[in-house]
Structure formats: structure tokens, C-alpha cells
Structure 1
Amino acid sequence: MIRTRFTELVGVEHPIVQGGMQWVGRAELVAAVANAGALGFITALTQPTPEDLTKEIVRCRSLTDKPFGVNLTILPSIKPPPYAEYRQAIIESGIKIVETAGNKPQEHVTEFKKHGIVVVHKCTSVRHALSAERMGVDAISIDGFECAGHPGEDDTPGLILIPVAADKVKIPMIASGGFGDGRGLVAALALGAEGINMGTRFMCTKESPIHQLVKERIVANDERETELIFRTMRNTSRVAKNAISTKVVAMEKEGAKFEDVRELVAGARGKMVYASGDADEGIWSAGQVQGLIHDIPSCAELVSRIMRDAEAIIQSRLEGMMSGAQRVAAE
């Protein structure tokens, strides 16, 4: 059993988190993660309206009696969704854990804290983590450059970012980007984190609500099968490498602006990838951790395996190394 400040904070058995993922963070996956003893997040903006989010929370509660949360990502948009209404739906539903991400979340943090909600803020740099800490969030999820989705513009990999953040952030912190097995969990703990956040790895589980062909594509891919789009627009996003992403990268090299690629990267097309199984239908997020994904287990099997392997590494390999060093010193 591995207990950390984070597991104590959110009341879960294992220091493993399934973060918010657009079109993926639905009740069936979140409940399976919760039932496995980890922490799952429903993705608020996957639901078309705040009313639909309320229904999804009710559906998740019908599938588990364990703790779970809701992700609310705040991004710049020409026509932003009604964030305050989604926030109110979360509060009125009695959710006790929220993951925020994106733009400065002070307004939402302040309101959530009034209702005793634990807030975990996802960020990609130490300066943003410290800013969120000052805003009053309860924990940080720090995203290394390896992650799927938006890794920020600093290009700092987890091996550096996690310990640098751990040296400065006082509240509990979980590590995101590149995690998929027990080795990663032990490494994150050694670097100063209190747990790990996994996205792509949880996409590739039996309960994940995406097409089987996409899961099989993730298994077949290796760590090189991602691309960074929107680099020239300073809004970098790591996505699975496919015909569309390659075209977008090529267009950016020729000076394309967002308006020129808007149709190619439309969210509706990405949603169709998960529904149809056609991996070249649109842009979809995946991290470099694909190189560590070799099967499609249930969430219970995955969490159990990660914890079993992590405990074995700590108890056998690391303690064995220490014992061996002590024997050599004695001799």
C-alpha cells in the first residue's frame, strides 16, 4: 500500500489519477477508475450543456460509490462555453473534487473553495504552479513535455520539471506526462511527486468509451508516433501522428495561420475519430507514452498491475540495492 498526501487529500486508495480528456472522460471510464481505487475525472465540456453534465454525474454515481471528480478546462475561445453554469452544475451536484486547467482559474477556484471543494490545477510550468498555489488550489498536476494535449511552450521534460516543481511547490503535486506503468509511478515518487496522472494509458482500457480500432492503434504505435501542432502559434498541442497532423505541421512550416487549418483541426472531426475508429479522420490527442502501451486491460487490471509492480520495485529492487551496498560496505 502506497499512501501519499494526495491520496489522503482526495480519499482514494492509490496515487493514480485519470485526468480530464475531451470526448473520453465519461461516466463509464471514470467509474471504472474509481472502482479500481484510483481517482477519475468526468470532463465537463465533453457534455453539450451544464444540464447534460448533471446527468452524467448522476450516471457515474449509479456505477460507483467511490470518490470521483470533474474536470473544468478554461480555454480562450471566440464563443466560450458558459463556464459559470458548468461550475454551478458541479457545485449543485455535490462534487467534492475538481480538476481545473487552462487559463487563470481564480474565479472558479474562489467559488469552488466556498463550497469546500478540493481543487487540483493542471499546469505546465513551475511559475504557473506557484501562481495556482497562491490562488488557493489544494494540489497541482504538473505536465511534462511528454504529455498529450497542451505541454506548454517551455519544452521541459518531466525528469527536470517534476523535481524542480517539488523543490518549490508546498502543496501536494501529482506528475503528468509519460506515465503508464509501475516504473513511472516509482520514478514520480522519487522525483518528489505524490502520485501520477495518466491520460493516454487510460484511453487504452476496456472501459474507455472510444472505438476499439483507436485503442489498437495506440498499442501499435511507438513513442515516436506523435506530432506537435500549433508550434508556430505558440499554442503547442501534442497529438497522435496521422495524415491530418502531418499536413497541419507542413502547412505551419509554410506560414499557415489558424484560419488556414481550422477545418482540419475541428473538434468535431476529432470526436469522429473516437466514434468511427478511423484514426485519420481528424486530430486526436496521444502522448509519447504510447511506446509503453502494449495491451488493452480493464481499469482494475491496469491499476492493480501498476501498484503491484511499483511495490515490487520498491521492496525488492531498491531495498535489494541498499542491502547489497550495505554488505559491500561491511566487507
Structure 2
Amino acid sequence: MRNRITALFDIDYPIIQAGMVWASGWRLASAVSNAGGLGIIGAGSMYPDVLREHIQKCKQATERPFAVNVPMLYPDIEKLMDIIIDQGVKIVFTSAGNPKTWISYLKENGITVVHVVSSVAFALKAEAAGVDAVVAEGFEAGGHNGRDETTTLVLIPSVKEQVNIPLIAAGGIGTGEAMLAAMVLGADAVQIGSRFVASVEASSHPLFKEKVVQAKEGDTQLTLKELAPVRLLKNKFYEDVQNAYANGYTPEQLKQLLGRARAKKGMFEGDLVEGELEIGQVSALIHEIKPAAEILNEILADFKNAVDRVGDLRRF
């Protein structure tokens, strides 16, 4: 499956595992890369020394390309970037902010740069800044996504119409059928997060993984737009947030409610009551925790079957 993205990253399949906080450590990234996709270490939930350790262990676990995701809002971003350069990482995904400050530095060090966007406007800015590709992430996604709530079905063709660099689709993609749909709409590849949360190698807590598997349609909701839009599984913390809105909380009060390490409490430590549980709408289609390689191969098989079914539709 050679195209612009597989050539850019030197991978076998146009499947990228998202760099999710508290889930995307070296075990998951190396497993996906070894299976022919692109694994990503999520630096957003790591101290600099922890990131260094994960990069080193990932290099020991795979000889295939892998990437690091760096949120632009990370407080010690300079330290993360220095570690990435020092450790010889060749691909960096940036998110949650403006990548322009770091693009020249990264590219001068031979690094391929990809930025995650939630709108056509941000995609155009990223292209103008010099990124090598963009991830366009729709409203269905579990991570921090756009305030405009543009769905993947609309966002992908809209971005494709405006940009010339390779396009990776994200948000609501967890099956081979969804992968095919995204590529028909103009994507060169897909980035998948939630499905890999429910993998054996994900560093997220087993209780959180089980909660994801149990999720049904309507069990997630996009909220906290005043801070950074995030999709949460409904639990006590989510209800606390809704009560805060009903009581007219200001953004500063919402920030105090969120507090520190709320996401770690939920997704990494397994507190399903008071923790923040980030996951996408596609969780309703996830029914089993499996090894990452098995997930990737299942998506590829379903993709190929979907291609055959679409071929049968030509008679119409």
C-alpha cells in the first residue's frame, strides 16, 4: 500500500497510532511499528526523563520508524525537543498549539514534522508554516479537538480541497470500513487512537480499558470548550463538570475543578469515578481488548473486504 504517507514515513501501511496521553508508551508504539504502521510515543503525559527512557526502549524494541507526539502547550517543551534531537527521533507530530516556533529547528535536524489540526484554517496555517503533513481530526475524536465540532466526514474533504501536503484523517476511525471511507474522502492515511487504547500494550489502566470496551453509543460527550475541548466518558467527574456549567462557573473555576493530574487519575491510575476519561465516539464499536498487531491486522483485513464490497456496488 504505497502512497505519499507510507513513502514519507517509510512504513508498510497507512495506519498511524495516535500519541495519546497515558496510553501511548514505548510498548504500544513499538508494537504498532513492528506490525507495519507508525507507532507514536505520547510525550504529553511524560516528564522529560521519562520521554528519554521511552524513546530508548522503543529503539530497542523495534527497528522500524516511530514518532513522538509533542503538545505545543507542554510547559517544558524545550527539554522535550532537546531530548528528541539528542535521541535521533526522525518523526515528530505536534498538536494543541502553533507548530511554527519549532518547525525550522526540527527540520534543520532532519526531522519530518506533522501537525494535528481541527479546521481548514489551521491546516492552511500549518502548511504555510512548512509541515510535511497534517492530521485533520474531526469532532468524533477522543482527544482535544475543535470548538467548531466539524465532523470527520466534513472535515477531511474540506481540508483536502485546500491543502496540497499529505493528509491524515482522524476522529471516529477504528475499523477498516472507516479507514476506507476516510481515504475515499481524500485522506492518504488514518490516525487511530481510541481503538489502540483498548490494546494489550497500551499503558492506560486495565479498568479504563474495560470501561472503553463497555461503552455504548451516547456514553461520551465533548465538553470543557472554554479550556480545551475534550471528549469524556460520562462518570461522576463528567457530571461534576455539567453541574459546574449549570451553576455558571467561569473558565477559571472550571480550571480549578479540573485540577492537576485529573486525566492521570482516570486513564492511568484507573479511578473511574473522579478521573477524567478521554475517549472517542468510536468506543461504542470497541468490544474487546487485543494485542496492537492483531488490531492493526484486523483493520487491514476489514479494509480489504470493504474495498471488495465497494467494487460490487459498481453495477449501480
TMscore range, shorter length: over 0.9
**1:115 partnered with 2:109:** yes
Unaligned runs of 5+ residues in structure 2 are none
Contact 1:244 1:283 in 2 (8 A): yes
**1:319 partnered with 2:275:** no
Q: Report % sequence identity.
A: 37
Equivalences for 1:283-298 in 2 at 5 Å? Answer: 283-298=276-291
**1:221 partnered with 2:220:** no
SS of residue matched to 1:146:
coil
> Deviation at 1:89?
0.9
Contact 1:228 1:249 in 2 (8 A): no
> Deviation at 1:234?
6.0
Q: So what's the TM-score if we normalise by structure 1?
A: 0.91
> Deviation at 1:129?
0.4
Find runs of 4+ consecutive structure 1 residues off by over 6 angstroms: none
**1:274 partnered with 2:267:** yes
**1:66 partnered with 2:60:** no
State the distance in 2 between where 1:85 and 1:41 align.
Answer: 18
Task: Give the structure 2 partner of residue 97 of structure 1.
Answer: 91
State the distance in 2 between where 1:317 and 1:289 align.
Answer: 22
State the distance in 1 between where 2:100 and 2:184 align.
Answer: 31
**1:239 partnered with 2:232:** yes
SS of residue matched to 2:261:
helix
SS of residue matched to 1:262:
helix
State the distance in 1 between where 2:179 and 2:250 align.
Answer: 39
1:54-101 per-position Cα deviation (integer Å, ceiling 9, x unaligned):
2210011111111101011012xxxx6221221111011111100001
Residue type of the partner of 1:65? E
State the distance in 1 between where 2:274 and 2:247 align.
Answer: 23
State the distance in 2 between where 1:297 and 1:194 align.
Answer: 26
> Deviation at 1:281?
2.7
Q: How many residues align?
A: 316
State the distance in 2 between where 1:53 and 1:278 align.
Answer: 24
**1:5 partnered with 2:4:** yes
Q: So what's the TM-score if we normalise by structure 2?
A: 0.96
Contact 1:265 1:282 in 2 (8 A): no
Task: Give the structure 1 partner of residue 136 of structure 2.
Answer: 142
> Deviation at 1:262?
3.4
* 1:249 alignment partner, one of 217, 239, 242: 242
1:247-305 per-position Cα deviation (integer Å, ceiling 9, x unaligned):
11221232102332335423423212234423123112111011111111111111001
The structure-2 alpha-carbon separation of the partners of 1:266 and 1:34, relative to structure 1 and needing over 3 Å to count, comes to farther
Pick the structure with greater CA Rg: 1
Residue type of the partner of 2:164? K
State the distance in 2 between where 1:20 and 1:267 align.
Answer: 20
Residue type of the partner of 2:59? R
Contact 2:267 2:275 in 1 (8 A): no
Structure 1 vs Structure 2 CA RMSD: 1.5
* 2:54 alignment partner, one of 56, 65, 78: 56
Contact 1:175 1:196 in 2 (8 A): yes
> Deviation at 1:156?
0.8
Contact 2:208 2:277 in 1 (8 A): no
**1:303 partnered with 2:296:** yes
1:173-214 per-position Cα deviation (integer Å, ceiling 9, x unaligned):
110100000001100110000111111111001111122221
Residue type of the partner of 2:22? W
Contact 2:33 2:65 in 1 (8 A): yes
